């Protein structure tokens, strides 16, 4: 059932990779009978529903593994299609980390050994069109990419708990290395999401975050996938507190990757709202600036990993 992933080759050119990924999606053959849309989920908050509606996300239930493979492949196709269509100003080292994150995800789904060679610098597609990028499309698609990586991290964090509790230190080390690679990819995905000008943000993106387009009080803090990952991470605090010394280096790598992801989010946020302004969606809830709020979350989440 996972054979469609085998056609994807690490570090292949973007046009070759997207062809293989689309072929993999076709061969996966996920049809309407394989899933059912979730109409009324009692566990979903209004904030969760608002974000899903704003980004046209439909939650489904069905066979978990095929759905995970599908969403991962779809996230990869979305990334490559957007990059090939509009280009990116990411540096090769960053683009390589983002591509590597998906390679790690595919290896995990195929039960391949963890790739310890790490990410290689890859030259990203550059924009050949005149004028500014479609900021709203990049904003939307970048969030899809970020969320597909978050879903992968949730899976790995669950496996990490199982491997640590079973005393399987080598497997736990591989788990930490995988989730670190995905977090490094998520850091770049945040930058990719905001890879356009301030003018384009003000003109195309900001209006969609305010009523009447957005529901009153909608906040990105209620992105359901990210919210759940934070919940899982909080539940792992006792696991991280009791990690054997043999896993300290791997834990430190994950710790640093989380710090970099929050720093990337702060950089993107500062480029659009500045360092002093509150978040548009949080202005009525706190006097802290958007960057200060992200710094607070960074400290709290890092404290879960290492005291």
187-224, pLDDT tens digit by residue?
Answer: 999 999 999 988 888 899 888 887 888 887 777 778 89
Per-residue pLDDT for 284 more than 80? no
CA angle 5, 144, 94 (to 5 degrees): 75
- Residue 209's pLDDT is 81
Contact of 196 with 133, CB cutoff 8 Å: yes
Is 250 a residue whose pLDDT tops 80?
Answer: yes
Q: What is the DSSP letter of 39?
A: S
Within 31-91, where are the H helices?
Answer: 46-54, 64-86
Confidence of residue 131 (pLDDT cuts 50, 70, 90): low
State the Cα–Cα distance between residues 137 and 135, nearest whole angstrom.
Answer: 5
Q: Summarize pLDDT for 23-75 with one digit per residue, the tens.
A: 999 999 898 889 999 988 999 999 899 899 888 999 999 999 999 999 999 99
Q: What is the pLDDT of residue 1?
A: 56
pLDDT at 169 (0 to 100): 97
Distance of CA 44 to the CA centre of its chain: 20
Mean pLDDT, range 233-262, rounded to an integer: 96
Beta carbons within 8 Å of 245's beta carbon, 6+ residues apart: none
Q: How many residues does the chain have?
A: 307
270 pLDDT band, cuts 50/70/90, is: confident
pLDDT(141) > 80: yes
Could you identify the residue written with the tokens 């899809």?
144
pLDDT of residue 273: 66
Per-residue pLDDT for 301 more than 50?
Answer: yes
State mean pLDDT over 179-189.
97
DSSP 217: T
Q: How far, in Å, are 1, 10, 135 from residue 123 at the CA level? A: 32, 14, 22
**What's residue 90's pLDDT?**
95
DSSP assignment of 250-307 equals HHHHHHHHHHHHHHHHHHHHHHHHTTTSPPTTTTTT-SS-HHHHHHHHHHHHHHHH--
**Per-residue pLDDT, 2:** 65
pLDDT of residue 283: 47
- Cβ neighbors of 190 (< 8 A, separation 6 or more) are 142, 146, 261, 264, 265, 268
Q: Give the other-Cβ count within 10 Å of 121's Cβ.
A: 12
Q: Quote the percentage of the chain above a pLDDT of 90.
A: 65
Tell me: pLDDT of 16 over 70.
Answer: yes
How confident is the model over 75-91, as pLDDT tens digits?
A: 999 999 999 999 999 99
């Amino acid at each position: 059932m996972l054979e469609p992933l085998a056609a994807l080759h690490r570090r292949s050119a973007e046009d070759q990779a997207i062809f293989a990924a689309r072929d993999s999606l076709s061969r996966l053959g996920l049809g309407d009978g394989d899933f059912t849309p979730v109409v009324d989920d009692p566990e979903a908050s209004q904030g969760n529903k608002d974000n899903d509606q704003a980004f046209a996300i439909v939650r489904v239930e069905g066979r978990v593994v095929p759905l995970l493979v599908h969403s991962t492949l779809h996230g990869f196709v979305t990334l490559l299609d957007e990059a090939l269509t509009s280009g990116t100003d990411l540096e090769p080292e960053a683009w390589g980390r983002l591509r590597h994150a998906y390679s790690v995800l595919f290896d995990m789904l195929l039960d391949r050994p963890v790739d310890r060679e790490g990410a290689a610098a890859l030259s990203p597609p550059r924009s050949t069109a005149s004028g500014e990028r479609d900021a709203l499309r990049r904003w939307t698609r970048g969030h899809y990419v970020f969320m597909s990586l978050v879903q992968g991290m949730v899976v790995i964090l669950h496996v990490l708990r199982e491997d640590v509790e079973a005393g399987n230190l080598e497997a736990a080390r591989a788990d930490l290395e995988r989730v670190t690679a995905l977090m490094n990819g998520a850091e770049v995905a945040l930058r990719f999401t905001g890879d356009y000008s301030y003018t384009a943000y003000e003109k195309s993106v900001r209006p969609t975050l305010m009523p009447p387009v957005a529901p009153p009080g909608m906040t990105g803090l209620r992105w359901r996938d990210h919210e759940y990952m934070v919940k899982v991470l909080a539940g792992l605090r006792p696991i991280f507190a009791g990690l054997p010394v043999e896993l300290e280096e791997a834990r430190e790598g994950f710790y640093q990757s989380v710090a970099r992801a929050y720093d990337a989010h702060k950089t993107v946020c500062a480029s659009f709202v500045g360092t002093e302004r509150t978040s548009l969606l949080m202005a009525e809830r706190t006097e802290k600036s958007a960057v200060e709020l992200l710094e607070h979350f960074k400290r709290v989440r890092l404290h879960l990993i290492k005291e």
